[in-house]
Amino acid sequence: MKDFFLSLKTMLGAAPHRYEREDYTPEARALHKSHKSNSKERVASIYSELDGKKASFAVRKYRWPSIIIINLLFVVSYHFDVQLVEGALTASRFVGFHMADLNSALQVMLAFKQILINLVIGTATVFLLWWLVGGRAFCAWVCPYHLVSELAEMLHLKLVDKRLIRDHPLHRGVRSVLYVVFIILALVTGYTVFETINPVGIVSRALIYGVSLGLVWVVLLLLVEIFYSRRFWCRYMCPIGITYGFVGSISPLTIHYNLNLCLHEGECRAVCLVPHVLDMTVKNRAHKEFLDIGADCTRCGMCLEACPTGALSFRVKGLDKLL
């Protein structure tokens, strides 16, 4: 239970918790001691055990098409009047079932100070869906802004590598402060202020209904992400990630960490969209042999691709079999 609350605290902006050595399990202490030398024999034995086993699937080649296909469903349904998916990502109907983005629904209910039955149904449907597939999976597998932001990130990293620019990380707690600010603004003004600057909704509506002036704001955000701060919106501004992070904290689907297989080389953290969730992969940090990655994880799967030994894997809580 302590790990659960510390995971939420980290998601809200706190630095990953560092356990005292006496709080480590005996198994973790023994493994850290054996890893200390990081001997060639240990590395060779791990690769030997993994030899012939199926490698982690390339999640990225499924994730990007997932974003494109889901958003195209809205576009095709609208332009050809298919009525398969009506509306946009913030609020829609899928073959008649109401669906509402959790953060948008919260903003609307606070702004109008009433609970609409269709909104409750839509919120419950979406909550159940993302509870099953892993909370912040919305960010990595559905969000259209996330896709263009990843492309901006690639350009940003190339410019940093060529030393043409320098990255400027911000404090992750800014996102939590903005989460509260937007809630208060909705409650006080009676207007969903966040939705006017929400690039997810802006991009979604632009794809479906056509270009709007809101895209100027999206372009400005992308320029900030390319030339100033890596993944500026997603890491430091977007309250949607927090909303789905709370759902993800109780989701049965997690990414699972096996200390025994870890080489602590840091490849997973280098590609992670939210690297603070992988703090336990740093040498001598994991306090247990097996751990589930924290609430802020987007389930993007890139750490699985990067890990050379299979120390990270998808897992359904309560099932012995790893996916």
d(C-alpha 40, C-alpha 66), whole Å: 40
d(C-alpha 192, C-alpha 148), whole Å: 24
Q: Are 209 and 71 in contact (CB under 8 A)?
A: no
Q: How confident is the model at residue 323 (pLDDT cuts 50, 70, 90)?
A: very low
* Residue 173: its H or E element: helix 173-189
Q: How confident is the model at residue 237 (pLDDT cuts 50, 70, 90)?
A: very high
Predicted model pTM: 0.86
What share of the chain in percent tops pLDDT 90?
58
Q: Where are the domains of the chain?
A: 2-54+252-316, 60-246
Q: Which tokens hold the place of 167?
A: 């990255």
Check residue 205 and give its pLDDT: 93
Three-state DSSP at 215 gives: helix
d(C-alpha 36, C-alpha 81), whole Å: 62
3, 169, 287 from 229: Cα distances, Å: 30, 6, 32
Cα of first residue to Cα of last residue in the chain, in angstroms, is 24
d(C-alpha 24, C-alpha 27), whole Å: 8
- pLDDT (mean) for 16-25: 92
In this structure, the number of other CB atoms found within 10 A of the CB of residue 288 comes to: 17
**Does 55 have pLDDT greater than 50?**
no
Q: Are 189 and 171 in contact (CB under 8 A)?
A: no
Q: Which tokens hold the place of 35?
A: 């890893």
**Does 75 have pLDDT greater than 60?**
yes
* Residue 100: its H or E element: strand 97-100
